[in-house]
Amino acid sequence: MRSDKAKKGLERMPNRALLYGTGIHPSHIRRPFIGIASSFTDLIPGHINMRNFERYIERGIENSNGTPFIFGVPGICDGIAMGHSGMKYSLPSRELIADTIETVANSNRIDGLILLTNCDKITPGMIMGALRLDIPTIVVTAGPMLAGHLGKKRLSLVRDTFEAVGKFKTGNLKEAERKKMEISACPSCGSCQGLYTANTMACLTEAMGLSLPYCGTAPAVLNEKTRIAYESGQRIVSLVKQKITAKKIVTKNSLENAIRLDMALGGSTNTVLHLMAIAAEAEVDLSLADFDKISQTTPHISNLRPGGESFMEDLHIAGGVPAVLKRLATKINNTKTVSGKLTLKIAEEATIFDNDIIRPLNKAYHKKGGIAILRGNLAPEGAVVKQSAVDSDMLAFTGSAKIFNSEEEAMKAIIGKKIKKGDVVVIRYEGPSGGPGMREMLSPTSSIVGMGLHKQVALITDGRFSGGTRGPCIGHISPEAASGGLIAYLADGDEITINIPKRKINVKLSTSQIKQRKSKMKLLPPKIKSGYLYRYSKSVESASLGAIYKKGR
């Protein structure tokens, strides 16, 4: 066992003495050491119930003769960080989390890991660290929250708070109702109720084989989730004994399954960044072309919020991830999972309880997958859009550029009603390096929707979007402005054409015009000049590569 190097032999007498100082019994020394990387925090509704899950994971580990050790991992709630400088830390925190997992598990010679996670960057960050270690690993995502209610109307965070800001500004929402929605939209612990980044990553983690069946969709408050936590604790000890490590689970085939599920569900565009980063740690070759190739051959068969009206609890009741895999059985790879069952066996044993929540392939909501990769002179390295959340009338759009050098500038113009029909809002210098941190633009996009402009206005950015974004919003423009991408040289009034079916995004500028602008316009200086974000800005790669750290950094 890896842990033998920290506990076995005469020379390790001091090490054992310190371990006994934690209160463990001598019998625990002989067992596999299982780390429980817990991202519990009082700051995130998706994480406040993790203390209970820690207990049941511990019980499962002890029941299978393992020795559990809990250690902490930092976490950020993107919703709380949204719309201000705090969001600059969200994506960079992924790298901190990966480093934390590597550091704690290696310094203590942990034999296996349970990753107790839920929200946004925390899940991919933990998986990245586990792959770097390549030790047996199971992910327990803490589950989505239940839908809120205002009478018979079901509420979700994004639709009924972020988009409500725009509705209130246009006089389409009264103050009394606004207050009720604010306090009722998030009625329980758990990750936000729709197919936003946290829940998308939970489902994809299950599809790639790192979580037990139904973990990705089981609501946070259900006893079912507690049992999954317990069974995960039991199962990790078996994986250690069988030497089934993370890289034996996360392969090119299993990542393709995750992408396939993502396209079928219509998940968050952030998963492009995260799956590419996970692939890099797994030493798997994955590119933007893989996403578009799979999207072209995967029908969009489930339509949860933000694009549709269903919630995560509906997907779970309909049969969860296994039921979606059952629909996709002819298209998925038969890969190993931490459950001990192959993917196709899990799919075979699943039951589909709702043919509308999980539609047959020939009755899909859309013939192609939820995400599209666009290219053109504005994004030669690629850009990403959640096409399943775009109105059919806006799949092809030509408009006039309105340029903003930060999210705050754009938000002020949107709320100030300075954005008109036919505009393309351009938010630049928000990329991985230029932001720094590649902030999510949920506040501007939600305000545009709330004000009823999402069928008249497009938005492009070298930043990114929340999984809750809907409408013609194109993110991850690469190269970014800070790296000299063409987006840095756009001017008000430039004609921008977006064609999602044809996978194109271009600005109507000649080669000579572009050359002339580059000779006259200077790139903006760095926004942050000290601390972690400054170091991050100097180390991070392009969004087209997953915004991972440059090799050697």
CA angle 373, 374, 380 (to 5 degrees): 115
Report the C-alpha gap between 24 and 221 in whole angstroms: 31
Distance of alpha carbon 68 from its chain centroid, rounded?
28
Report the C-alpha gap between 289 and 350 in whole angstroms: 31
Identify the residue whose tokens are 């054992």: 16
Contacts of residues 29-32 at CB distance under 8 Å and 24 or more positions apart, as own/partner, are 29/67, 31/65, 31/66, 31/67, 32/1, 32/3, 32/65, 32/66, 32/67, 32/111, 32/112, 32/237, 32/240, 32/241
453, 425 contact by CB (below 8 A) = no
Identify the residue whose tokens are 């974000």: 533
Report the C-alpha gap between 542 and 427 in whole angstroms: 17
Torsion sign, CA atoms 35, 37, 41, 47: negative
145, 189 contact by CB (below 8 A) = yes
Report the C-alpha gap between 365 and 372 in whole angstroms: 15
DSSP state of 507: E
268 catalytic? Reply is: no
Report the C-alpha gap between 178 and 450 in whole angstroms: 13
Identify the residue whose tokens are 């931490």: 338
Burial of 317 (0-12, 13-18, 19+ CB in 10 A): middle
Grouping H, G, I as helix, E, B as strand and the rest as coil, residue 203 is helix
List the catalytic residue out of 232, 466, 478, 542.
466
477, 547 contact by CB (below 8 A) = no
Cis peptide bond upstream of 26, omega within 30 = no
Residue 42's identity, in one-letter code, is D
Residue 499's identity, in one-letter code, is N
| Residues annotated as catalytic (active site), given as ranges | 466
